[in-house]
């Protein structure tokens, strides 16, 4: 008996989902999705079967109960395709792929949400689906994090529209680990404030040495380091200061926007160098952009730091090195630098714990959602010049993402491998353009044929004119100026490509 190939999708974080779903549809999969996920996929023009349509049972209690149904769990837990012959009369057919991520419980706790809101962020169906799919990894592929999509698509393509057993086992392991951490976070919170006290770390000083400062963190279990509550662990170096914490957050968020191995160098929360590549390659590419500003900076990696990379770092003056892990040799080498703060970071945990932003002035607190995702990179508008080739697309994507992390009026020059010139924090955009060009020239880097990213629109053609004169071949910006047409016309006359995204990432 033949069955339709089915993928069950129910996600809170929809980053990158459409690309995966479209690939599955093209491979002949039927998409089964719930609530907001179904609407998101439908809005993208993809055919979707609602969970209620499949089960014949409506969502109840405002969506609290939707996927807890034998048609869903039977479809996941059936051991072999042949075994479904016995359940055909009940409408239970195999589900081959499960894509689920969980409600944002840890974020709710981290931002101090009230009890009722926090309880609503305790996911029941999500962990149940993940455990079921992970248990049946011999047949079912489970994806529990957006960061797994790239590897999934690669394995899916290599195996002709299926996944390998090794990949399924790897994804199952990740799913069980995620559910364990999620349940532990809930249990810790449920213990109540009488048993769990918020952690407070006295910092070396505030923004200036005469200012007293402290770091307040979510409660942790007895004997657990306070920084573990946000996915950090310090292994050596001096105590952290207020500025160290601010710079550390900025550096990790920068590398967190890239899936491939990379190194980001930050100073005073601004990127001063970024490079794609494993280990020392990413580090060397990041350093070449502005080695002077990198002096005393934060060096962040999204892959393990090896001995070769540690050898280069050991020759530099820097404040912080942060990475998911360090080889034994690398850690031993770096610990010789007594003052350097060495930290490991659980990227997913840390990014979740720092997702929403706030600033406070006494009793006055500003809060906002995190600026997440880059959907505009899949739907930009070329308003001048020729369509970019694949290599230029990679470069434009790189400078656009780095731009998000620079302070107001950000201009980033770069290629498909790294940044080559950076201009941040100026009162006018044309000043940032001039600064980025000057930085690249000071580092003896070739601007000819590079691309540029801008975090805001160009109010006049002058910035575009200066970039073109310096040798920039393509520019990406959000647009939105009343002079967009004039700016586009100027770009066209100079023979450069201008892309407007319609979405900005301005970091004030």
Closest CA to 464 of 489, 501, 427, 439: 489
- CA dist., res. 508 & res. 405, Å (int): 10
Number of domains, the chain = 3
| Pair 352, 495 in one domain | no
Please say if the pLDDT value at position 194 is more than 50: no
| Pair 305, 411 in one domain | no
DSSP label of 54: H
| Pair 294, 386 in one domain | no
Percent of the chain with pLDDT over 70: 94
Higher-pLDDT residue of 92, 37? 37
Q: How far is CA 52 from CA 60, 69, 91, 394, 505, in A?
A: 10, 10, 13, 40, 37
Q: Among 324, 356, 388, give the residue marking a domain's end.
A: 356
Position 62 confidence tier, pLDDT thresholds 50, 70, 90: low
**Segment 211-251, tens digit of pLDDT:** 778 888 877 666 677 888 889 999 988 888 889 999 999 99
Where would I find the H helices in 257-361?
279-289, 291-294, 307-313, 328-334, 347-353
Name the β-bridge partners of 164: none
| Pair 280, 398 in one domain | no
The confidence score (pLDDT) of residue 192 equals: 66
The confidence score (pLDDT) of residue 354 equals: 87
Indicate which residue of 14, 66, 268, 439 is catalytic: 268
Mean pLDDT of 117-121: 88
CATH value at residue 147: 3.40.50.1380
The confidence score (pLDDT) of residue 50 equals: 84
Out of 20-29, 78-87, 167-176, 362-371, least confident range: 78-87
Domain annotation covers residue 212: no
Mean pLDDT of 141-149: 91
- CA dist., res. 265 & res. 6, Å (int): 43
| Contact between 300 and 250 (Cβ < 8 Å) | no
pTM of the model: 0.65
Out of 84-93, 264-273, 332-341, 364-373, least confident range: 84-93
Q: Is 175 exposed, middle or buried (0-12, 13-18, 19+ CB in 10 A)?
A: buried
Mean pLDDT of 296-301: 96
Indicate which residue of 135, 335, 441, 466 is catalytic: 135
Q: Is 401 tagged catalytic? A: no
Higher-pLDDT residue of 189, 347? 347
Please say if the pLDDT value at position 204 is more than 90: no
Domain annotation covers residue 227: no
Please say if the pLDDT value at position 180 is more than 70: yes
| Pair 402, 329 in one domain | no
Please tell me whether residue 52 adopts helix, strand or coil conformation: helix
Mean pLDDT of 305-315: 96
Position 330 confidence tier, pLDDT thresholds 50, 70, 90: very high
Please say if the pLDDT value at position 318 is more than 90: yes
DSSP string for 237-266 = SSPP-HHHHHHHHHHHHHHHT-SS-EEEEE
**Segment 434-481, tens digit of pLDDT:** 999 999 999 999 999 999 999 999 999 999 999 999 999 999 999 999
The confidence score (pLDDT) of residue 90 equals: 74
| Pair 142, 274 in one domain | no
**Segment 494-505, tens digit of pLDDT:** 999 999 999 999
State the average pLDDT for the chain.
Answer: 89
Higher-pLDDT residue of 40, 223? 40
- CA dist., res. 64 & res. 125, Å (int): 8
Domain annotation covers residue 267: yes
Q: Is 268 tagged catalytic? A: yes
The confidence score (pLDDT) of residue 64 equals: 58
Provide the residue range defining the domain that includes 474. 379-500
| Pair 341, 403 in one domain | no
| Pair 267, 333 in one domain | yes
Please say if the pLDDT value at position 424 is more than 90: yes
**Segment 358-400, tens digit of pLDDT:** 888 877 878 777 888 898 998 899 999 999 999 999 999 999 9
Mean pLDDT of 154-183: 91
Out of 189-203, 206-220, 273-287, 313-327, least confident range: 189-203
Q: Among 163, 190, 217, give the residue marking a domain's end.
A: 190
| Pair 24, 150 in one domain | yes
Position 59 confidence tier, pLDDT thresholds 50, 70, 90: low
Domain annotation covers residue 387: yes
Please say if the pLDDT value at position 58 is more than 70: no
- 399-422: b or e for each residue (b if 16 or more CB lie within 10 Å)? bbbbbbbbbebbbbbbbbbbbbbb
| Pair 15, 108 in one domain | yes
Domain annotation covers residue 196: no
CA count, 13 A, side-chain hemisphere, 501: 21
| Pair 21, 168 in one domain | yes
Q: Among 292, 321, 356, give the residue marking a domain's end.
A: 356
DSSP label of 160: T
Please say if the pLDDT value at position 199 is more than 80: no
CATH value at residue 296: 3.40.140.20
- CA dist., res. 288 & res. 292, Å (int): 10
Radius of gyration (C-alpha) of the chain in whole angstroms: 25
Domain annotation covers residue 352: yes
Closest CA to 324 of 346, 307, 306: 346
**Segment 67-98, tens digit of pLDDT:** 677 788 788 988 777 777 776 677 778 899 99
Domain annotation covers residue 278: yes
Domain annotation covers residue 58: yes
| Pair 158, 279 in one domain | no
Mean pLDDT of 279-289: 95
């Amino acid at each position: 008996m033949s069955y339709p190939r089915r993928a069950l999708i129910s996600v809170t974080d929809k980053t990158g989902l459409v690309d995966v779903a479209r690939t599955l549809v093209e491979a002949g999969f039927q998409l089964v999705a719930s609530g907001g996920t179904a609407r998101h996929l439908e809005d993208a023009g993809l055919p979707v079967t609602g969970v209620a349509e499949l089960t014949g049972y409506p969502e109840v209690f405002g969506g609290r109960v939707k996927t807890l149904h034998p048609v869903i769990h039977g479809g996941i837990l059936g051991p072999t395709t042949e075994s479904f012959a016995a359940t055909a009369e009940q409408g239970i057919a195999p589900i081959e792929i499960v894509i689920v991520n969980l409600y944002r419980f840890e974020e709710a706790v981290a931002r101090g949400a009230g009890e009722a809101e926090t309880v609503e962020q305790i996911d029941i169906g999500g962990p149940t689906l993940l455990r079921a799919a992970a248990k049946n990894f011999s047949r079912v592929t489970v994806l529990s994090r957006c960061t797994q999509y790239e590897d999934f698509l690669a394995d899916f393509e290599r195996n002709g529209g299926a996944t390998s057993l090794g990949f399924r086992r790897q994804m199952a392991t990740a799913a069980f680990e995620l559910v364990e951490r999620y349940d532990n976070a809930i249990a810790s919170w449920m213990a109540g404030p009488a048993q769990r006290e918020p952690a407070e770390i006295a910092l070396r000083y505030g923004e200036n040495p005469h200012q007293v400062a402290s770091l307040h963190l979510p409660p942790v279990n007895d004997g657990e380091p306070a920084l573990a509550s946000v996915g950090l662990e310090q292994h050596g170096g001096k105590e952290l200061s207020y500025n160290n914490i601010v710079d550390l957050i900025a550096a990790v968020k920068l590398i967190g926007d890239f899936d491939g191995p990379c190194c980001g160098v930050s100073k005073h929360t601004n990127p001063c160098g970024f490079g794609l590549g494993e280990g020392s390659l990413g580090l060397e590419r990041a350093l070449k952009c502005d080695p002077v500003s990198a002096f005393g900076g934060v060096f962040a990696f999204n892959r393990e730091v090896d001995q070769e990379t540690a050898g280069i770092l050991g020759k530099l003056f820097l404040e912080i090195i942060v990475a998911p892990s360090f080889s034994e040799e690398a850690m031993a080498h770096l610990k010789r630098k007594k003052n350097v703060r060495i930290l490991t970071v659980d990227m997913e945990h840390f990014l979740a714990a720092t997702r929403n932003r706030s600033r406070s002035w006494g009793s006055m607190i500003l809060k906002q959602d995190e600026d997440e995702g880059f959907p505009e990179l899949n739907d930009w508008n070329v308003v001048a010049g020729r369509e970019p080739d694949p290599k230029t697309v990679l470069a434009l994507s790189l400078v656009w993402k780095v731009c998000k992390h620079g302070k107001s009026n950000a201009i980033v020059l770069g290629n498909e491998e790294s940044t080559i010139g950076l201009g941040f924090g100026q009162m006018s955009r044309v000043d940032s353009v001039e600064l980025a060009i000057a930085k690249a020239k000071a580092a003896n880097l070739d601007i000819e044929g590079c691309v540029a990213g801008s975090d805001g629109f160009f109010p006049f053609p002058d910035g575009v004119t200066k970039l073109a004169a310096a040798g920039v071949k393509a520019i990406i910006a959000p647009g939105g100026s009343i002079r967009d047409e004039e700016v586009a016309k100027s770009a066209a006359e100079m023979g450069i490509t201008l892309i407007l995204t319609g979405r900005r990432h301005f970091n004030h």
